[in-house]
Structure 1
């Protein structure tokens, strides 16, 4: 089975060194290839392979940073998607001493791949200066550059270098996000929502205050705020639920909650059904949670969204759901007694146990 690290393979490297050779006839392809494909290459993970390629380019490109960038500028447009992060990675590794040239390079390279990881060392080096640049990028006509302003400043950027100062105080991020709250690009708006979701994990009240002030001001802003609250909504945070009109109310009742089997095989699926009834007009968010048995016998809850709806007086909605118990890269299943719960507007209405075998 192909792995993500295999985006850096023989074909990629051959295309890369051939493209650079076209831009720089003196480039030593054979030396670069030998430096990349050392004996440990098959065992290297994705980012290790990326860094090996970056370091090999450094050894075979001109040592003058400006000359090396001129060559990389010509090559980068031929490599889009995740594999293209080798170009901003070159800037991350060898450009921190050349601020202005590096900012120009990151702005250019992000249009073909993403420079979100490469800006992180610059934030650590000089947060105030880097955030001034991010504010400029937040107004750029290219959506990829605007997204870089948001994605690069995320407190919890996956795979990115940690920025402890942003985890403890996300205030510097907010002016950047403010400029993007009505962005025309969904690509950008998703990044803004992910950034705010990151913030919510350590500063939930801050996100709720922003939503209380801004929700209803613009459809694109509303989408961002709703998506940004996904973690808090799944946690049943009452302040977050109230922002979107999901009030806890006894007028929504759960009926006919049924497990169609009391035992599920690991690798199989669990079938359950229920219905809800409303005795007034209410906005309703329906989730279910499973308390999974873990390897040491303890349990861990995972919440899954089912639906959102507006229900009028006397409305009844029926639901039937299959939940897969197949092992994933992010979750392994274990034998034992698990618990399934139905959650309405953040409140657990009922729970049933079942056995996984």
Structure 2
């Protein structure tokens, strides 16, 4: 499953214990830190705030209580950063840069370059991109060559046109060429952490510029395994749609020459919290080896009785002449903030190279 984590659970990252930890550590660094004012502001209406609201409220509390001189305040936070001990909690340091550093571009860029090593600056940098796109992208192009993987990842993740939990960067949505110099630099990055971001960045482009994306990736040297990995994940949305050009770029040409000898969705009836399993046995009917991309889709029943189809990755494999491939996967059927389930029969499709080759389903009882 690729759904975002549940913010209702994540908001407890900024609970009262965490805020007291901030107080204790900052007080040990700065003798002028107003601990009582910080805690009072950070905990105001805390129970009713979501994860991102709590994060920003904490940054506001720092803005109220740290030295008014921006450079001195950053010095305190630079000492605090390695003491926080939690990646998401440390994002509040980057949010402080947004609140106080809008008029000090160079110092703010250097602060984000430091703080992102402890908690990603992907949300904060977007405010600077929105204010001055080209100057900020120029800095991020340099970050793409940084020795630290967290900084390199920020150069990609922060400029994603459709970053979850943040606003869209409409200029980049309209013109993907703006960030391609960054992605070109990172196309064979040794860090999986960075490569995942590059693939997600490119996948964002597939939603608005699918043909442009396939043509652009077709110019990348696919003999490098790191680049191959990025391209395969970058094209996942197009592959799930059966896009012929995207499939061809991965070495998948045309309809799969294969037979589905067994396909099962089990159990036939389940409740929320149960796991559904999808399995199949695929036999080659071709005379040569062929690359196969297998996906499955669940048609989620909506309140009005219609269905919303979501495609999931199953497996990519090579099927030899006369060979077989067994496929199997399972997932838990549970509610997310992005999806609420309804009772009814949920159809399940099996797809090979973008074509539906088998269909089953399960009854969800609620």
| TM-score normalised to structure 1 length | 0.93
Distance 1:253 1:308 in 2: 16
Aligned partner of 1:201 in structure 2 is: 207
Aligned partner of 1:190 in structure 2 is: 196
Aligned partner of 1:240 in structure 2 is: 246
Q: CA deviation at 1:155?
A: 0.6
Q: CA deviation at 1:249?
A: 2.5
| 1:16 pairs with one of 12, 16, 22 | 22
Q: CA deviation at 1:354?
A: 4.6
Aligned partner of 2:55 in structure 1 is: 50
Superposition RMSD on alpha carbons, in Å? 2.1
Aligned length: 356
Q: Say if 1:4 and 1:46, in contact at 8 Å, map to a contact too.
A: yes
Distance 2:276 2:188 in 1: 41
Higher relative contact order (CA 8 A, sep 6+): 2
Q: Which runs of 5+ in 1 are unaligned?
A: none
**Is residue 103 of structure 2 the alignment partner of residue 106 of structure 1?**
no
Distance 1:123 1:260 in 2: 48
Q: CA deviation at 1:319?
A: 3.9
**Is residue 41 of structure 2 the alignment partner of residue 35 of structure 1?**
yes
Aligned partner of 2:359 in structure 1 is: 351
Q: CA deviation at 1:120?
A: 0.7
Distance 2:256 2:94 in 1: 54
Distance 1:250 1:37 in 2: 58
Q: Say if 1:248 and 1:347, in contact at 8 Å, map to a contact too.
A: no
Please state whether the residue corresponding to 2:120 is helix, strand or coil.
Answer: coil
Please state whether the residue corresponding to 2:37 is helix, strand or coil.
Answer: helix
Change (3 A) 1:324 1:108: closer
For residues 202-227 of structure 1, the C-alpha deviation after alignment (integer angstroms, 9 at most, x for no partner) is 11112211222225231111111111
Q: CA deviation at 1:184?
A: 1.7
Distance 1:186 1:24 in 2: 37
Q: Say if 1:267 and 1:325, in contact at 8 Å, map to a contact too.
A: yes
Aligned partner of 2:237 in structure 1 is: 231
Q: CA deviation at 1:161?
A: 2.9
Distance 2:15 2:126 in 1: 26
Aligned partner of 1:293 in structure 2 is: 301
Q: CA deviation at 1:137?
A: 0.8
Distance 1:32 1:77 in 2: 20
Q: CA deviation at 1:324?
A: 3.9
Q: Which runs of 5+ in 2 are unaligned?
A: 1-5
Distance 1:141 1:276 in 2: 45
Aligned partner of 2:342 in structure 1 is: 334
**Is residue 100 of structure 2 the alignment partner of residue 94 of structure 1?**
yes
Aligned partner of 1:284 in structure 2 is: 292
Please state whether the residue corresponding to 1:82 is helix, strand or coil.
Answer: coil
Change (3 A) 1:343 1:34: same
For residues 279-317 of structure 1, the C-alpha deviation after alignment (integer angstroms, 9 at most, x for no partner) is 222111222212121112111111222222211211133
Aligned partner of 2:186 in structure 1 is: 180
Distance 1:35 1:269 in 2: 43
**Is residue 224 of structure 2 the alignment partner of residue 249 of structure 1?**
no
Q: Say if 1:263 and 1:356, in contact at 8 Å, map to a contact too.
A: yes
Change (3 A) 1:158 1:259: closer
**Is residue 161 of structure 2 the alignment partner of residue 158 of structure 1?**
no
